[in-house]
Amino acid sequence: MDKLQPARLAFTPDGIPFSADCGAPRDAAHGGPALARHVFMDGNDLPRRWQNRDRFVVLETGFGLGLNFLSTWQAWRDDPLRCRHLHVVAIEKHPFTAADLATAHAAWPELAAPAGALRERWPPLTPGIHRLHLDAGQVTLTLVFGDVATQLRAIDAAADAFYLDCLPPAREPEPGMPALCQALARLAAPGATLACGDTSDPLRAALSAAEFDTEARPGSAGQEPTLSGRFRSRRPNRHAPPAERHAIVVGAGIAGSTAAHALASAGWQVTVLEQADGPATGASANLAGVLRPLPSADDNRLSRLTRAGYLATRSLLGQLPAVRWDACGVLHLGREPIHEAQQRRAVEQLGWPPEVLQFIDRDAASRRLGWPVDTGGWWFPNGGWVRPSSLCQAALAAFPERIAARYGSAVDRLNRTADGWQALAADGTAIAEAPVLIMASGHAAPRFAQFAWLPQRAARGQVSHLPAGATPDLPHVVCKLGYATPAIDGLRLIGATLQSGDPDTALRDIDHQENLARLNLSLPGFAQDVDPSALSGRVGFRPMSPDRLPIVGQLPDPAAAGANARLHSLPRQPGLWCVQGYGARGIVWSVLMADLLVSRLEGEPLPLENDLVDAVDPGRFLLAPRRRTTPSGNDS
């Protein structure tokens, strides 16, 4: 695993900025946005080709300063016939910091408005995929931080136009160029076009072998010729938009509420069915939950998923002002010296920006907490706590014209029809009907016949509520053997216990004792005088998967899966999807998984790498054990 190295900002002799990591300053020397329009937009016949379309996808092989994206976005804004949704996927091995982007963008004041909006959403420089929703969700930028040669194979998209920028030099035979062009062909939509500033014979030969017909175009203002191409394959479109955007979501907890929000943001009409009298009455009713990633030195799948989920949730929280949350910081202490050493090594090997992750030693941790501790650990400066019920309420309220929440609507069973799915009451009457149904009922999902085979189990968890005055102040969330929060509305939350297969809904003193014991081991003597029998709290039931990863995707048909089934060839049940198995990480998983769900329904570029999409697919449980996708590393 290589650390992500930020781009080096450089300047031409006349002061025009460019990326020193992308070879010669071609874009800067030839006019920046003007070159973007001539080479890449004109070369792909834009804006004409996106006009009156539902969606148009651009894939760019080098983001750099973002001039190609900003020019394209500006042209889309100015076009009255623009497509409903513009999606740009950009791969960048050496992304700029937000500060360097601000310095560079000052050179092109005509792009000030989109450039400012881009920098406002600019993600921390961590590897993987980052999703930026812009222009009220009508423009989506999927930034892929990593090497183009590997990331083209890792992403799932259907590109209508390619901006081939900052490619490896092709003026001499390049061993990797044929493979790169084949990867482009895999991602090409029917009729896809491409444009490039390189007209060299090796590149054209590699593109031709990958089924792209190319031609040279005259350069602008007497400059070098440029290259245009078209994908000649006639294969069918595997990423078509849906014919109808109408869905039922069963459950108004954090999984269902964020799924409904993401669907509505994409233009869907959503009916949310909840048996309780309001949202977030199950596991999502806890007063607060912890928001932070879970790193590992090898950046395993759990590490990558929690990082992507943490950043996605942080992004949405910034857009929903009604949510109760606090970026007070999270300190995850080492369980003992060996674990503490592993945490230190993980920080060194990952090289994440300090605003995402730091390691602090025992003395620094004690000073930060105002209480002596035995170990140092991970410090997440922008982590914190979130009230899940407020996120559910804000998500459901964001699109009142598109989300119809029906409370007191108990769904007894599901019925497949010729046109989709019905949610039926106990007396057999149809509560709602739609082409798509999404199961988000948490631990209750396996009671529905279609989901009974899922190996999801309910795990009982008890959270203890300490009166704020019963212990010293705590400025940050602390995790070690359990977790403890700062005072929230006069209560400090500590927990939580975990018992699988325990249906008891009553509060138990012995569980309060366990939570207090964990707290006193994490913060020695912090709550030594607290009487467990005097505490209040809450019991919830978490939907847990065997591998502790979410269960998100289109539901396969287990009866049709053979002994040697492969994930991508599993027969699927038309229109039946789920967002399940979040366990104790609903706050971390929900926003990212909702984006994944909608992207798959829409046929859009996905917000995760292919191996991570497979890792959460419900079909993984139907595969032979040797091929199942399981996370590695410690789940704490």
List, as one string, the DSSP characters of 211-252. Answer: TEEEEEEPPGGG---EEEEEE------SSPPPS--EEEEE--
- Does the domain at 9-231 match CATH 3.40.1550.10? Answer given as no
Task: List, for residues 162-196, the tens digit of each pLDDT value.
Answer: 999 877 654 444 668 899 999 999 999 999 999 99
The pair of structure tokens assigned to 431 is 């509560």
Residue 634: predicted pLDDT: 42
With bands split at pLDDT 50, 70 and 90, how would you rate the model's confidence at 29? Answer: very low
Residue 171: predicted pLDDT: 44
Task: List, for residues 256-274, the tens digit of each pLDDT value.
Answer: 999 999 999 999 999 999 9
Is the pLDDT assigned to residue 153 strictly greater than 70?
A: yes
Task: List, for residues 454-467, the tens digit of each pLDDT value.
Answer: 999 999 999 999 99
Residue 168: predicted pLDDT: 63
With bands split at pLDDT 50, 70 and 90, how would you rate the model's confidence at 298? Answer: very high
Residue from 196, 226, 239, 189 nearest 211 by CA:
189
Q: State the Cα angle at 142 between 137 and 143, rounded to 5°.
A: 135
Topology given in CATH for the domain delimited by 246-282+389-456+546-627: FAD/NAD(P)-binding domain (3.50.50)
- Residues with Cβ within 8 Å of residue 517, at least 6 apart in sequence: none
Lookup result for tokens 């990591």? 21
- Which DSSP string corresponds to 32-98? THHHIIIIIIGGGTTTGGGTT-SEEEEEES--TTSHHHHHHHHHHHH-TT--SEEEEEEEESSPPPH
Is the pLDDT assigned to residue 79 strictly greater than 50?
A: yes
Lookup result for tokens 């995707």? 553
The pair of structure tokens assigned to 219 is 């350069």
Task: List, for residues 428-460, the tens digit of each pLDDT value.
Answer: 999 999 999 999 999 999 999 999 999 999 999
Residue 55: predicted pLDDT: 96
Residue 615: predicted pLDDT: 97
Is the pLDDT assigned to residue 87 strictly greater than 60?
A: yes
Average pLDDT over residues 368-374: 97
Residue 234: predicted pLDDT: 84
Topology given in CATH for the domain delimited by 327-384+459-538: D-Amino Acid Oxidase; Chain A, domain 2 (3.30.9)
Average pLDDT over residues 314-342: 97
Is the pLDDT assigned to residue 2 strictly greater than 90?
A: no
Residue 35: predicted pLDDT: 85
Residue 436: predicted pLDDT: 98
Q: How far is CA 404 from CA 63, 247, 432, in A?
A: 39, 11, 11
Q: Is 300 helix (H, G, I), strand (E, B) or coil?
A: coil
Residue 575: predicted pLDDT: 97
Is the pLDDT assigned to residue 283 strictly greater than 70?
A: yes
- Which DSSP string corresponds to 404-444? EEEET----EEEE-SSSEEEE-TTS-EEEEESEEEE--GGG
> Over pLDDT 70: what percentage of the chain?
95
d(CA 92, CA 63): 5
CB atoms within 10 A of CB 501: 8
DSSP secondary structure letter of residue 625: G
Residue 19: predicted pLDDT: 86
Please classify residue 320 by burial: count the beta carbons closer than 10 Å to its beta carbon, then call 0-12 exposed, 13-18 middle and 19+ buried: middle
- Which DSSP string corresponds to 170-207? -SS--TTHHHHHHHHHHTEEEEEEEEES---HHHHHHH
31-40, 170-179, 524-533, 592-601: segment of lowest average pLDDT: 170-179
> Domain spans of the chain?
9-231, 246-282+389-456+546-627, 327-384+459-538
d(CA 310, CA 552): 17
Is the pLDDT assigned to residue 116 strictly greater than 50?
A: yes
Which residue type, as a one-letter code, is found at position 608?
Answer: L
With bands split at pLDDT 50, 70 and 90, how would you rate the model's confidence at 416? Answer: very high
Is the pLDDT assigned to residue 633 strictly greater than 80?
A: no
Task: List, for residues 236-260, the tens digit of each pLDDT value.
Answer: 888 989 999 999 999 999 999 999 9
Residue 485: predicted pLDDT: 97
Lookup result for tokens 């060299």? 200
User: Over the chain, what is the mean pLDDT?
Assistant: 93
Average pLDDT over residues 101-119: 95
Q: Peptide bond before 47: cis, by omega within 30 degrees of 0?
A: yes
Is the pLDDT assigned to residue 519 strictly greater than 80?
A: yes
Residue 565: predicted pLDDT: 83
CA trace torsion 242, 243, 246, 247 (10° rounding): -50
Residue 221: predicted pLDDT: 63
